[in-house]
Chain A
Amino acid sequence: MKIDIILAGVGGQGILSIATIVGYAAVKRGMYMKQAEVHGMSQRGGDVQSHFRLSDQEIASDLIPMGKADMIISVEPMESLRYLPWLNPETGWLITNDQPFINIPNYPDTEKLSEELGKLKNKVVINADQIAKDLGSARSANMVILGAASPYLGIPFEEIEAAVRETFARKGDDVVNTNIACLRAGKEFAEKL
């Protein structure tokens, strides 16, 4: 089994914690993993992406070839579209938050943005911010997104849940429980589609 994911967002939105959790679960299953991150200048509110590769075979490249990614997981709608050249045009899935992060003056019209997302074949577009807020932790929107992506990851949900518990254990039961609730809510949303 092999799965190639582009994680996308804006510097500071915490896309890497998604990778940490999935990576943890994957490595625990004995899978190989490579994850190219972006550090440095663009972390100051610029566009950031991470190439995240999992496989039961050894992985050669740290970068995913164009047109071959199985999934784009994005915490920001415009950013999700930036990486379409990497997504497999037939079988790839795009999972994104629909809440824009507007820190530039020329951010596109949000209705046109939804239209553009609507054109895609395989997609989960979710208001992760709202769901996270309703569950009491606006900062856990990325866990909602991860939950929404979970049915397509090929890793049993319990194992992802265990990885979330492990990752947040240091921060106490409350934090663990809200993050798990967010994860589950995201999963339910995706499964209802």
Chain B
Amino acid sequence: MSKTLFLGDEAVAQAALDAGLSGVYAYPGTPSTEITEFIQNSKQGKEGQVHSIWAGNEKTAMESAIGMSYAGKRAMVCMKHVGLNVAADPFMNSSITGANGGLVVVVADDPSMHSSQDEQDSRYYAKFALIPSFEPSNQQEAYDITYAAFDYSEKYRTPVLIRLTTRLSHSRAGVERREARPQNPLHIEENPKQFILLPANARVHYRTLLGKQDAFEEESVNSPFNKYIDGADKKFGIIASGIAYNYLMENFEGHKCPYPVLKIAQYPVPSKLVAKMVDECETVLVAEEGYPFIEEQVRGLLNRTGNIIGRLSGALPRDGELNPNLVAKALGLPDTYGAPVPELVVPRPPALCVGCPHIDSYLAINEAMAEYGAGKVFADIGCYTLGALPPYKAIYTTVDMGASITMAKGAADAGLRPVMAVIGDSTFTHSGMTSLLDCIYENTPVTVMILDNSTTGMTGGQDSHALGVLGEICKGLGVKEEHIHRITPLKPHHAENVALIKKELEYEGVSVIIPTRECIQTLSRRMKKQQAAKK
């Protein structure tokens, strides 16, 4: 078969379709978004009526996928690493229920935090849940692993996790496809106790899960994705996982690595293979993208021999992405470097687009808040987070999706006045609604600005769940109608917007102001499409 150019994300998506996927459940998040978008745009997906509509958040996505697995079909959940924090409750418990139809959780980590607030390593979650996980090193492996993961899941009736990292998710290479397999028929879980996690059932299931651990490890030892490549020079042994394997091999381009190499792309860590390497080699370098997950396990708490090196020992940096040069240095190979960056080159941080509705919102917010001093605007995650940077410098917090409203509440509870929360429309439906309900329940004095640009802007313009109904949602939750306002974030409305915000800041209760204007990017895309249709 000929090769198709795929992003790592797209390779996962195509493999899932070819493996007989019936539904993908996801909330957008860089670098995972393209997996679901690929399925949404795929002819094969449409013909097979594969479910691919965005979920409200990662938790609802995970739960829907568990439901599809319960019904006997193959389901996939996709998210960025921090999304798994949101989905952690159903994720952890899905390891206890186990899977009926194949259940694959794909999590894209973001080492170096290109577009994230941390660089947490999802392999820990798989270990925490006691389930197998995979870490492809290239696009072909992303395809092959995803294809195989559904079979694995059904063979052991367990969810499995696939961990991607930014560089693989967003890097393109040729991939060879396999034959497409049909979707599973509907087939409800036969054991009536399997998905009822009453303590009496859960204890039994948990022991079953513990009982599978040895088999999981045996699978890792024999996996085609894990390889022990022997080398004559035992001065070094190298364990390289995921994409770090490529950075290692880059240093031995055109000739064989003289040291034994253990390539790991499937977990639990195959301890038999690790033992062989540690016994045979003087020093073992562990090169892995993310946290020192393998290194920690190999060296243990005491590290008596001190011959295991990697991110913990300082041979590699403790944080950030790896690259071929860092691996070269850790092996004592010569480093390479071009010319230094000329001094006149300055950083070019991302910024709100020209004409972005958030700009007008922030200009109004800054003017309304001016008299109250700094530190009283709590914000959230989205394009509008860029309001933290000059020239706006309008917001003071960004922690996790939905935190704006509840952090403002906590600060108001502490006595801070007036407090404002700034949250995007998609973030509001992701995690802000329950936060608002807390405020309503206690009649907390807080002014909530829901920036409604009719889209999920930061991740490329996916549909927003609350399109056109934000006011109704707030009213339904219990915000008093006279304190819900839609305003238009445009220059001619600036003065009246400022006046309204000021008035609501004085109110000792919950108010919601919804600046409403479409994202410039989705608007211009829509216009172009319309024009093309006219022609």
**Chain A residues near B (Cβ < 8 Å):** 10-11, 23, 27, 32-47, 51, 57, 59-63, 65-69, 78-79, 81-82, 84-89, 92, 103-104, 106-109, 112-113, 116
Contact = CB atoms under 8 A, between A and B. Distances in A.
Interface residues of B, number: 52
Contacts of A62: 138, 167-168, 171, 173, 243, 246
A137 B253 CA distance: 42
Contact of B5 (A11, A33, A39): A33
A11 B458 CA distance: 13
B344 A44 contact: no
B350 interface: yes
A133 to B, nearest CB: 20
Contact of A87 (B171, B243, B254, B338): B338
Interface in B443-462: 458-460
Given A66-B336, A66-B337, A67-B336, A40 B345 contact: no
A87 B325 CA distance: 14
B341 interface: yes
A167 B342 CA distance: 36
27 contacts: A11-B350, A35-B172, A35-B173, A36-B171, A40-B31, A41-B30, A41-B114, A46-B349, A47-B347, A59-B173, A60-B246, A63-B247, A63-B323, A65-B336, A66-B323, A66-B325, A66-B336, A66-B337, A79-B348, A81-B342, A85-B337, A85-B338, A86-B338, A87-B338, A107-B346, A109-B344, A116-B342
B171 A37 contact: yes
B224 interface: no
Contacts of B249: 60-61
Nearest to A171: B532
A44 B336 contact: no
A38 B114 contact: yes
B351 interface: yes
B426 to A, nearest CB: 15
Contact of B324 (A40, A63, A79): A63
A41 B458 contact: yes
Contacts, number: 153
Contacts of B336: 65-68
Interface of B: 3, 5, 7, 30-31, 33-34, 114-115, 138, 167-168, 170-174, 243, 246-247, 249-251, 253-254, 323-325, 328, 335-342, 344-353, 383, 386, 458-460
Contacts of B34: 39
A160 B85 CA distance: 46
6 tightest Cβ-Cβ pairs between the two chains A and B: A40-B115, A46-B350, A40-B30, A67-B336, A61-B250, A60-B249
A67 B338 contact: yes
Given A46-B348, A62-B246, 7 more contacts: A39-B460, A40-B458, A47-B347, A63-B323, A67-B337, A104-B348, A106-B346
Given A39-B34, A44-B352, A65-B325, A84 B172 contact: no
Nearest to A82: B345
Contacts of B353: 44-45
Contacts of B328: 65
A66 B114 contact: no
